[in-house]
C-alpha cells in the first residue's frame, strides 16, 4: 500500500505499514480495529482525539500539540469510525462533529493495547566483565569527518557506535584526526557539548598547579566524573591527541555489572547503597559543587539508572546516626569488588582514538605514568545521555524513511 494519500502523523517520524487495517467497530468511547495479520487493537476515544494530527490538535509547523482537552465542549464521544480508501482510520467525534484521520503505521506502532514495555531501552542493555584479553568494542571511524552530516555514510559509522554505547556503555573509535579541537566537530555529530567548570573541551594532561587529580600523572581509582552535580554528565568523550609515555593505561569497568554482583553477593550492602545518600563535594578555589545521592540509583521500574562512585569526591557522610557504620561496611564491600580484576578491561590509548562512554554507568580509571618519558594528552568533553538517544532515534528514523521510499 502507498501512503501518498494517508494523513500526517503527529510527529516527524516515518511509520512503515507492516499490516493494513482490515475491519473496525466502535462504541461511544472505544474504537476496535482488526489488522490484516489478525491482530486486534483497541483505542480509547479520548486518546485518539488527543493524538490526532489535524491543525486543531497540533501546530503543523512544529508538530507540537495545541489542543487543550479541557477546552472541548464535553468529553469527546465517538459517533462513527471506518477505514477510508487510502487505508486510514477515520473517526467522527461529538460534540465537535469533527472527522479525523489516523495513519495506520503510526497507530500500529503506538498500539498500547498490545504493547510490551514502552520504556524499554532503545538497545538491550548488556552487562559485561573484563578479562586479560578483553577490550572495548572498536570501530574504524577514519572517514567520519569527511562524511556529510546525517548522510548514509555518516550513519554507517555512527549507528554501530551508538548501539555499543547504548547497550554496553562504551565504544572506541579509531583513526580520527589528532589536531587539537577536532573533538568538538566529532562530538557535534552526536549532539551539543555540555559545559562545566572545566569548560567545553578540557585537556587531560599533567600540568602545574592542577585543579583535579586527572591533571596529574598519578593513578586514578575507578570513578564516575562529576558526581558532585545534581545531574552528573551522562556521556564522556576522551580523544587521544598524543601518547608516548610509559604507563598510563586506561581501565574501564561496567558499574552496572559491579552493582549486580554486589546485589547477588551482599544484598544488605546493596540495599544500603541504594538508600543512603552520600555527600559528593568538589570544593575548588573558584567553585563549590555539593550534592547528596545514593551510590546506586534505580529508576521507577527498579532497573539500574546510575552509579555515583568517586572516593576522591566524597565529602563527609551526613546521614542518620544508625546508618553510618552500615554505610561504610557497604562501601568497603563495593570497593573490594572494584579492585577485582575480573571486572576490568585495560587498554592503551593510541593517537586518533576516541573513547565514548556512559559516565553514569561506566567507571574509568588510569594507571600512573612517567611524564618524563614522553607526553600524554587527551582532550575530553561531556554531553547528556539524551543526546545519544536522540541521535540514535534519528538514525532509526532515517532508516525507516528510506524503507518507505523503497516500498513506495
What Å distances lie between residue 243 and 123, 178, 370, 377, CA to CA?
33, 11, 11, 6
Average pLDDT in the 328-342 region? Answer: 97
pLDDT per residue over 206-252, tens digit each? 766 665 666 666 788 899 999 999 999 999 999 999 998 887 889 99
Residue 122's φ and ψ, nearest 5 degrees, are -60, -35
Residue at grid coordinates 546510575: 306
Domain boundaries, the chain: 21-115, 138-393
The Cα 210–Cα 157 span in angstroms is: 36
Vertex 62: Cα angle to 56 and 63 (nearest 5): 55
pLDDT per residue over 68-119, tens digit each? 999 999 999 999 999 999 999 999 999 999 999 999 999 999 999 998 888 8
Asked whether residue 2 carries a pLDDT value surpassing 50, the answer given is: no
Asked whether residue 334 carries a pLDDT value surpassing 60, the answer given is: yes
Asked whether residue 266 carries a pLDDT value surpassing 70, the answer given is: yes
pLDDT of residue 369: 74
> For the residues of 76-91, what is the DSSP string, one character each?
PEEEEEEE-TTS-EEE
pLDDT of residue 115: 86
pLDDT of residue 257: 98
| Structural fold of domain 21-115 | NE0471 N-terminal domain-like (3.30.2020)
What Å distances lie between residue 37 and 16, 33, 110, 113, CA to CA?
15, 12, 17, 16
Q: Using 50, 70 and 90 to split pLDDT, how confident is the model at 1?
A: very low
pLDDT of residue 259: 98
Percent of the chain with pLDDT over 70: 95
Output the average pLDDT for the chain. Answer: 93
Is 21-115's fold the same as 138-393's?
Answer: no
What is the DSSP pairing of strand 89-94 with strand 77-83?
A: antiparallel
pLDDT per residue over 28-43, tens digit each? 999 999 999 999 999 9
Name the strands in the sheet holding 170-174, side by side, starting at the edge strand that comes first in the sequence. Answer: 138-140, 170-174, 354-358, 235-243, 376-383, 202-204
Of 212, 251, 269, the residue nearest 365 (C-alpha): 251
Q: Using 50, 70 and 90 to split pLDDT, how confident is the model at 158?
A: very high
Asked whether residue 403 carries a pLDDT value surpassing 90, the answer given is: no
Grid coordinates representing 227 are 558526581
Average pLDDT in the 46-52 region? Answer: 98
CATH number of the 138-393 domain: 3.60.130.10
Angular region, 319: left φ>0, alpha ψ -120 to 50, beta rest: beta
Grid coordinates representing 8 are 500526517
pLDDT of residue 245: 84
Amino acid at each position: 500500500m502507498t501512503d501518498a494519500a494517508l494523513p500526517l502523523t503527529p510527529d516527524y517520524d516515518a511509520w512503515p505499514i507492516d499490516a493494513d487495517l482490515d475491519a473496525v467497530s466502535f462504541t461511544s468511547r472505544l474504537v476496535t480495529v482488526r489488522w490484516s495479520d489478525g491482530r486486534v487493537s483497541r483505542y480509547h476515544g479520548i486518546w485518539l482525539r488527543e493524538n490526532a494530527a489535524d491543525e486543531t490538535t497540533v501546530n503543523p509547523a512544529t508538530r507540537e500539540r495545541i489542543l487543550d482537552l479541557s477546552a472541548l465542549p464535553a468529553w469527546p464521544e465517538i459517533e462513527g469510525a471506518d477505514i477510508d480508501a487510502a487505508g486510514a482510520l477515520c473517526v467522527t467525534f461529538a460534540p465537535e462533529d469533527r472527522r479525523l484521520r489516523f495513519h495506520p503505521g503510526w497507530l500500529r506502532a503506538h498500539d498500547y493495547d498490545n504493547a510490551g514495555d514502552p520504556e524499554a531501552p532503545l538497545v538491550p542493555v548488556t552487562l559485561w566483565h573484563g578479562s586479560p584479553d578483553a577490550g572495548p568494542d572498536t570501530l574504524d571511524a577514519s572517514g567520519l569527518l569527511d562524511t556529510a552530516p546525517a548522510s548514509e555514510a555518516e550513519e554507517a559509522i555512527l549507528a554501530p557506535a551508538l548501539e555499543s554505547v547504548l547497550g554496553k556503555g562504551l565504544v572506541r573509535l579509531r583513526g580520527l584526526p589528532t589536531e587539537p579541537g577536532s573533538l568538538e566537530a566529532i562530538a557535534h555529530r552526536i549532539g551539543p557539548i555540555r559545559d562545566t567548570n572545566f569548560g567545553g573541551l578540557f585537556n587531560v594532561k599533567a600540568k602545574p598547579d592542577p585543579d583535579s587529580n586527572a591533571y596529574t600523572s598519578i593513578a586514578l581509582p575507578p570513578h564516575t566524573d562529576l558526581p558532585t552535580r545534581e545531574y552528573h554528565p551522562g556521556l564522556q568523550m576522551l580523544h587521544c591527541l598524543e601518547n608516548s609515555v610509559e604507563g598510563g593505561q586506561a581501565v574501564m569497568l561496567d558499574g552496572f555489572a559491579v552493582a549486580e554482583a554486589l546485589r547477588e553477593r551482599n544484598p544488605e550492602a546493596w540495599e544500603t547503597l541504594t538508600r543512603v545518600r552520600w555527600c559528593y563535594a568538589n570544593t575548588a578555589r573558584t567553585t563549590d559543587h555539593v550534592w547528596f545521592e545514593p551510590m546506586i540509583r534505580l529508576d521507577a521500574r527498579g532497573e539500574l539508572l546510575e552509579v555515583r562512585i568517586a572516593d576522591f569526591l566524597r565529602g563527609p557522610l551526613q546521614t542518620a546516626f544508625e546508618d553510618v557504620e552500615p554505610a561504610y561496611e557497604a562501601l568497603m564491600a563495593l570497593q573490594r569488588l572494584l579492585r577485582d580484576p575480573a571486572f576490568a578491561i585495560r587498554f592503551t590509548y593510541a593517537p586518533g582514538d576516541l573513547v565514548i562512554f556512559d559516565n553514569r554507568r561506566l567507571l574509568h580509571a588510569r594507571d600512573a605514568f612517567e611524564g618524563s618519558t614522553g607526553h600524554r594528552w587527551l582532550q575530553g568533553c561531556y554531553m547528556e545521555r539524551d543526546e545519544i538517544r536522540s541521535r540514535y532515534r534519528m538514525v532509526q528514523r532515517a532508516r525507516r524513511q528510506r524503507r518507505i521510499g523503497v516500498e513506495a
